[in-house]
Amino acid sequence: FLGAGDHDYNAALRLFGSPSMFASDLRLPAMPLNAVGESNWEILVRLGDDLTLINDDQLSALDSYRFFGYDEMKRPFWGYGVESARARVGSGEEIIVLMRSDDQTNIDKALCWMPLGKLYTRKQARLVHQVLDTEGPTEGAMHEILELFRDVFECAVETSWTYEKRLEFYHSFPFEELSTREAVLDFRPVLLGCAAFADFEFKFPECE
């Protein structure tokens, strides 16, 4: 799967090996005004807490991170909620989610902030919009992706990743090619073998 034509894996290697990161054609949205996002540490804690619930069958990985929505041009897309923030709206607050789209027929790996209230789980998308997630990952694959993200964010905390570097990571991560648990497990040593992790000792055990 690493040889698929629609995945620029060289971009992923540049992310982890080059100070210049990526070319300027990426859509990297700024944090919305009046919004407070998650820190690297808060993301790591959230992933750990969610994985505990998932391992105890109290939470679904797909229902928690896989969503359907419409972009600013009213085009439908499926994607992944990778971060959240609290934004001031009038005298109140709303939760907004950073979405990484994987629907390349409409949006090419776009990242965008969206209100949680405008996103739908797979069940909601089927019941409300009569839309099925036919190309998304299995529950096992999503679970392993979250395990991998947790390990990555252990490094992000220790090396103080910036907001921009996190977005570049989300953009380059090959969600589209990791639809099965086996694919994620195969990709794990490739990603963690990148230059940025060469001198980092992970505390979490790798999945077998």
* pTM of the predicted structure, to 2 decimals: 0.83
Would you give the DSSP letter of residue 19? T
| pLDDT tens, position by position, 61-102 | 999 999 999 988 888 999 999 999 999 888 889 999 999 998
Question: Is residue 204 predicted with pLDDT exceeding 80?
Answer: no
Backbone angles phi and psi of 154, in degrees to 5: -60, -40
The predicted pLDDT at position 26 comes to 59
- Written as one letter, the residue type at 28 is L
CA-CA-CA-CA torsion for 43, 10, 99, 150, nearest 10 degrees? -20
152-180: pLDDT as tens digits: 999 999 989 999 989 989 988 889 899 99
Q: What pLDDT was estimated at residue 33? A: 85
What percent of the chain has a predicted confidence (pLDDT) above 70?
79
Q: How many CB atoms lie within 10 A of CB 82?
A: 21
